[in-house]
Amino acid sequence: MPADRWFGVGSCAGARERAGARAVDDALVHDDPKLLIVFCSPAHDLRRSLRQIRERAGDVPLIGCTTAGEIATAGPSTDGVVVAALGGSGFAVRTTVATEVSGNLREAGARVARSLPDRADLPHKVVLLLSDGLAGDQQEVVRGAHGVLGAAVPLVGGCAGDDLKMSRTFQLYDDRILSDSVVAAGIASNAPLGIGVRHGWRRLGEPMLVTSSTGNRVHTLDDRPALDAYLKHLGASEPAHPDQEGLARLALTHPLGLSRPNGEDKVRFIRGGDFAQRSLSCIAEVPQGALVWIMEGDARSVLEATDAACGESLAALSGRSPLGMIAFDCIARRAVLGDGGTRSEIGRIAAMASGAPVAGFYTYGEIARTRGARGFHNQTLVVLSVG
Which one is predicted more confidently, 371 or 304? 304
Q: How confident is the model at residue 240 (pLDDT cuts 50, 70, 90)?
A: low
Percent of the chain topping pLDDT 90: 85
For the cut 90, the answer to whether the pLDDT of residue 29 exceeds it is yes
For the cut 80, the answer to whether the pLDDT of residue 278 exceeds it is yes
pLDDT for residue 199: 92
Mean pLDDT over residues 175-185, rounded? 98
For the cut 80, the answer to whether the pLDDT of residue 262 exceeds it is no
Which one is predicted more confidently, 241 or 338? 338
Lowest-confidence segment of 4-8, 26-30, 176-180, 253-257 by average pLDDT: 253-257
For the cut 90, the answer to whether the pLDDT of residue 249 exceeds it is no
pLDDT for residue 263: 65
Its pTM surpasses 0.85: yes
For the cut 90, the answer to whether the pLDDT of residue 331 exceeds it is yes
Q: How confident is the model at residue 139 (pLDDT cuts 50, 70, 90)?
A: very high
Does 202-296 carry CATH code 2.60.120? Answer: no
- In the chain, where are the structural domains located? 6-198+300-386, 202-296
Mean pLDDT over residues 200-222, rounded? 95
Mean pLDDT over residues 285-295, rounded? 94
pLDDT for residue 292: 96
pLDDT for residue 98: 98
pLDDT tens-digit map of 98-125 = 999 999 999 999 999 999 999 999 999 9
For the cut 80, the answer to whether the pLDDT of residue 294 exceeds it is yes
pLDDT for residue 307: 97
Which one is predicted more confidently, 312 or 266? 312
pLDDT for residue 248: 80
SS (H, E, C) the chain: CCCCCEEEEEEECCCCCCHHHHHHHHHCCCCCEEEEEEEECCCCCHHHHHHHHHHHHCCCCEEEEECCCEEECCEEECCCEEEEEEECCCEEEEEEEEECHHHCHHHHHHHHHCCCCCCCCCCEEEEEEEECHHHCCCHHHHHHHHHHHCCCCCEEEEECCCCCCCCCCCEEECCEEECCEEEEEEEEECCCEEEEEECCCEEEEEEEEEEEEECCEEEEECCEEHHHHHHHHHCCCCCCCCCHHHHHHHHHCCCEEECCCCCCCEEECEEEEECCCCEEEECCCCCCCCEEEEEECCHHHHHHHHHHHHHHHHHCCCCCCCCEEEEEEEHHHHHHHHHHHHHHHHHHHHHHCCCCCEEEEEECCEEEECCCCCCEECCCEEEEEEC
Average pLDDT, the chain: 94
pLDDT for residue 15: 67
Percent of the chain topping pLDDT 70: 98
Mean pLDDT over residues 229-250, rounded? 83
For the cut 90, the answer to whether the pLDDT of residue 260 exceeds it is no
